[in-house]
Structure 1
Amino acid sequence: MSQPLISLCIPTNGVIEWVFPVLDSIYSQNVDNELFEVVVTDNGNNAEFKAKFDEYQKNHENLFYFRSSGYEFLSEPDSYKNAKGLFIKFINHRTKVVPGALEYFINWINENKEEKPFVYFTNGVLAKEKTFEFNSFDGFVRGLSYWSSWSTGMAFWKEDFDSIPKDTVYNFLFPHTTILFSQKNRKKYVIDDKILLDEIPQGKIPKGRYNLFNAFGVEYPGIICDLLRNKDITPETFVCVKNANRTFLSTLYLDYIILKRKCSYDLSGYKESLRVFYSDKEIRNEGLIKLLIKIIKRIIFVKKIKVVETIMNKKKIKKIGGGYRLGHKSAEIISFRLVA
């Protein structure tokens, strides 16, 4: 097999419910197998997963399996080491490739393989579905904002990965940032916001067990701070990314500390973690403001529903002691909206 244009790399710990729908989404694209390969790197211990994979692999000669000793997220760079494609695209083991996406990646590679810009695929999170171009690393980092903490958008030329020293120590929680921030002198950087992936609902399977607030309150802003100290980015860009990350942290605080939603993350020491680059009170207050805004929006929404239902049930309105009440159907709908 000649060098494929693209390697789709899927690090996993062997979750059957996620990986195989992702593989199905790739092989249902009807793209010539010579143009791509799929590299699955497994650091789990699920014998059932391996047995099912062996059966699946029999029908796909461009599908490869490798064991990884990398703990947790460190299996990600291991997957890249086994890739042979001209271009490498990270695929999260629970994000399906939408129809036409593989062809989109291949066309993008063919159109850019001479100039070879550095690219990140934000998958619609910027709510623009546009393409943004930058002529400086500083502009690229600012454009990505706190989304640079998210590995799902990772994509790069194999030669860029090969240029990273073999003995490089990757960040335990954000290993992708070593690659993402390795190319500081490119003539062109691209952020492509087209939606190309579709995340599988988490269900009852734990998404992560790491210390959440240490990761995003200490480790990630520390990585951005290193860029500032090395003069790779400007103070203005550092502040921009740091502030955007603070807003993200306030959402996590609202979900898991204020509302106490169930999760598999380690939430211990959250106050101490938030005090390294931020103020835990500041983030708490921002979280409370978000909660207040949600409540206000819900009240406004319910009032609108009430007016609409009153009109819809006009014929069902009954007069009671000089006043009026809505029919049962309308009252039931409003009640549902309140608890939804």
Structure 2
Amino acid sequence: AFSIWKEQLRNIPHSPDDVNNMFPHTSLLFNANCDNYIIDNTNYIDNINVEKKGGYNIFYNFCILYLNMLDNLVKNNEITKNTFLYIKYNMFFKFIIPWYYKTIYTNQGFTFDPSNADENINKKYGPLSIPLIMVTLFYKKET
């Protein structure tokens, strides 16, 4: 979830050119330029698995679009390269691999567009990323 004071929202660039249509809340957050943020990772509710969830290219959106947004923050000295790498590889192990399992390796009924999944992952994580995913999923299956 994302929240912002109305007064702050007025001061944040939020024209269509300033906001990524796949990540509007993230765009607003990245455009906020606040001195302090509160990050609360507390789980207040459990999400219900939504059947037929999807409709967009999950691996393009997160591996390409989202990481490009973060890379721009590094270029503008808004986050460090170490922060970028932490987010990037945390996302790989906790998001990309699980969703690869749910959408490519097994078919669990999601309607995400899997087009060029391997290519999009390789572009940002390198040529060993898919073999690493396969090894991880093999051991997941065995345990």
> TM-score, length-normalised on structure 2?
0.84
Partners of 1:245 and 1:284 lie apart in 2 by: 15
- Alignment partner, residue 109 of structure 2: 262
The structure with the greater share of residues assigned to strand is 1
Q: Over the residues paired in the alignment, what is the CA RMSD in angstroms?
A: 2.0
Structure 1 residue 179, shift from structure 2 partner? 1.4
What is the Cα deviation at residue 268 of structure 1?
Answer: 0.9
Of 288-297 and 261-270, more deviation after overlay is shown by 288-297
Unmatched 5+ stretches in structure 1? 1-152, 298-340
Pair 1:189-2:37 in alignment: yes
Structure 2 unaligned runs (5+)?
none
Matched, 1:283 2:129: yes
Asked if 1:156 is matched to 2:8, the reply is no
Greater RCO, 1 or 2 (C-alpha within 8 Å, sep 6+): 2
2: distance between equivalents of 1:195 and 1:272? 33
- Separation of aligned partners in 2, 1:155 and 1:294: 36
TM-score scaled to structure 1, two decimals? 0.38
Cα distance in 1 for residues equivalent to 2:122 and 2:135 = 19
The corresponding residue for 1:177 is 26
Contact 2:14 2:28 in 1 (8 A): no
C-alpha distance in 2 between matches for 1:271 and 1:184 = 34
Moved runs in structure 1, 4+ residues, more than 4 A?
none
Q: Is residue 2:73 matched to residue 1:235?
A: no
> Alpha-carbon deviation of 1:168?
4.4
CA distance in structure 2 between the aligned counterparts of 1:291 and 1:166, rounded to whole angstroms: 40
| 8 Å Cα contact 2:71/2:84 also seen in 1 | yes
Task: Choose the corresponding residue for 2:119, options 261, 269, 272.
Answer: 272
**Equivalent pairs, count:** 141
Offset from partner CA, 1:173-220 (integer Å, 9 cap, x none): 11111111123341x3221233323423314xx322011111111111
User: Structure 2 CA distance, aligned partners of 1:269 and 1:295?
Assistant: 24
Contact 1:251 1:287 in 2 (8 A): no
CA distance in structure 2 between the aligned counterparts of 1:175 and 1:274, rounded to whole angstroms: 22
Contact conserved, 1:207 with 1:264, CA < 8 A, in 2? yes
